[in-house]
A = this chain, B = another copy of it.
Amino acid sequence: MHTVKHIQELRQFIRQTRWNRPEARIGFVPTMGYLHQGHQSLLDTARRECDVVVLSIFVNPIQFGPNEDFSRYPRDEERDMAIARAAGTDIVFFPQVEEMYPAPTKTIVSVSGITQRLCGASRPGHFDGVATVVTKLLNIVQPDYAYFGMKDAQQVAVIEQMVYDLNIPVTIVPCPTVRESDGLAMSSRNVYLTAEQRRQAVVLSQALDTAERMIRDKRDGLSADELREAVTATIRTAPLAEIDYAEVLSYPALEPIRALSEADRIIVALAVKFGSTRLIDNRLFHLRA
């Protein structure tokens, strides 16, 4: 496994790979580090599907708001490297902020519509920061495939839209959310939780189970409002949970719906704070056969 800190060095490696093995499929897993089994499953999928696997670890400052957790975002370089190595990663790209932003960027990639709601509404500018850094990373790595976790379903929708609109020559591969045994979605931010918050955090996946049961039992007559209310009621059973949003929208356009029958696919999407820790989770439902 090669660890690369500089863009030019990475480009050189990719160029060499393309030159020596023009048929090689290059797979890319962009992360902010503090790797967990979710990231590991992205690496595993990339390893199965590609000849060369590139992992990037970069906590991207421009996707954090001024009062968010950029400076305290958890980091553990040594453990990340061990996980990357165990997953059969070929290259870890590990740039410093000065390498990615030698000067404040004047160029922003911005996706409208999809970014209006959910985390786009709660975290203004967040998805501009995500779209911009993902564009940069895709231009640096130039992979054939890029792997993203569906826990960040809105991020996946934004990136797929961006790749489509800008004709970026990459295939985006969304991968299923990986969960703890009690159902909590894996997240680097879970480490922030106190023991009691951690116990109660299971309420996010329980609320999504509630949604799944309701949709299974009475799909036809169900309104988005009824579903949202039931989900919200489930979350409220956890006394430490503070709801940022609990929404039922079409996917991937992320537009409001009234009857569930209005969309082919819907997403039930949650953001819930425990103290200052904000967790997200979601489930997608294919409603038409």
Seen from chain A, the residues whose Cβ lies within 8 Å of a Cβ on chain B are 7, 11, 18-19, 22, 105-114, 131-132, 135-136, 139-140, 142, 161-162, 165-169
Contacts and interface: CB of A to CB of B under 8 A. Distances in A.
A108 B166 CA distance: 9
B165 A139 contact: no
Contacts of A132: 166
Nearest to A128: B110
Number of copies of chain A assembled together = 2
B11 A169 contact: yes
B7 A18 contact: no
B18 A22 contact: yes
Given A131-B107, A162-B107, A139 B167 contact: yes
Given A19-B22, A22-B18, A105 B165 contact: yes
A218 B132 CA distance: 45
A106 B165 contact: yes
A28 to B, nearest CB: 14
A111 B104 CA distance: 12
26 contacts: A11-B169, A18-B18, A19-B22, A105-B165, A106-B111, A106-B112, A106-B114, A107-B111, A107-B112, A107-B161, A107-B162, A107-B166, A108-B110, A108-B112, A109-B110, A109-B166, A110-B110, A132-B166, A136-B165, A136-B166, A136-B167, A139-B168, A139-B169, A140-B167, A140-B169, A142-B169
